[in-house]
Amino acid sequence: MSTPTPLPPVPPPSGGGIDLNPTLADLLRLHVDPVFLLPMLLAAALYAWRFMQARRTPEGRARWPLWRVLSFAVGMVLLFLTTQSLAGTMTQSSMALYMARLMVLAELVPPLLVLGVPRGVRLDPRRGLGRVLNVLLDPWVALALWTAVIVFWNVPAGFNASIVTNTAASLLPALYLLSSLLVWGVVLRPLPSVQPAGIGSRGWFGLIASLPMMAVAAVWLYARDVLYTPYVNALCLWNLTPLQNQQISGWIMMLAGMPALALAFIQLMMWLIKLSEGQGMPPKPDAQPQG
């Protein structure tokens, strides 16, 4: 009798067809999301067209140095990797991975894109696009929108609803990206013609805008129970427990917000130094006449 052929090894359970131990290459595998892809391609094409036009004159080259193009390009690459990869489909399998994706969209992509805006862009704050940006880049408007996104979608009711209705996959990342673009637009002030705020007010704004995210991160770090129902019994990536996923998400959010918080303190210090230099020394009293 011939020896029976051994059966191939049974693969480990993968949580409903999802590999629970994906590599970085697996996470970055292409997965097209038209909601982000089409606007991203249009923005990149418009930027490249305007840049090529500006490079024809010395004034344009001075306004649009290559480092700004590099900043914009790196931001677009990160945006592509974050929104057009398989990692975006694993929302319910890893809260930590999901939060890392959101933090790239909120704390890395926006400042790189804002720094890519050329110098000397002139807009009329009373009409057209200038008027719209003058309203959206108002510190109070930007702060209100950013706080609403952070608070509403991170309280258990809002977060649970976004996971259950699957709006967490596209809607929430888009809101994080757009609201954070407004925040970084206020902080970095790329359009002075429609942004009259000085460095002191921008420093205070950056400090206040960082508080909601830091508060949410602290809650995740110190909570003893899993706060979000969809993750309570979820099979998590890399053999992490749901509570570990929540705590790691808190660390990710807190560390991602540190650069913006540091920039706010730097701007406040520069404002205080400028204020002290402008005040100078008090005038000396007049000398008493000698009798």
pLDDT score at 17: 55
Please, are residues 264 and 203 in contact by the beta-carbon 8 Å criterion?
yes
Maximum C-alpha span of the chain: 134
Per-residue pLDDT of the chain (291 residues; tens, 9 = 90+): 444 444 344 344 444 456 778 888 888 888 888 888 999 999 999 999 999 998 888 888 888 999 999 999 999 999 999 999 888 777 777 888 888 999 999 999 999 999 999 988 888 888 888 889 889 998 999 999 999 998 888 887 777 777 766 666 678 888 899 999 999 999 998 888 888 777 778 888 889 999 989 999 999 989 888 888 777 777 788 888 888 888 999 999 999 999 999 998 998 898 888 888 766 545 555 555 554
Question: H-type helices in the chain, by residue range?
Answer: 24-27, 34-54, 58-63, 66-83, 95-103, 109-115, 128-136, 139-152, 156-164, 171-188, 199-222, 242-279
pLDDT score at 280: 53
Identity of the amino acid at 132 = V
Can you tell me the distance from the alpha carbon of 104 to that of 82, in angstroms, rounded to the nearest whole number? 7
The secondary structure of 129-169 as a DSSP string is HHHHHHHHTSHHHHHHHHHHHHHHTTSHHHHHHHHHTTTTT
pLDDT score at 291: 45
Q: What is the pTM of this model?
A: 0.83
Question: H-type helices in 223-279, by residue range?
Answer: 242-279
The label of the residue with tokens 């949580």 reads 15
pLDDT score at 6: 45
Picking from 213, 212, 189, 206, the residue whose alpha carbon sits closest to that of residue 263 is: 206
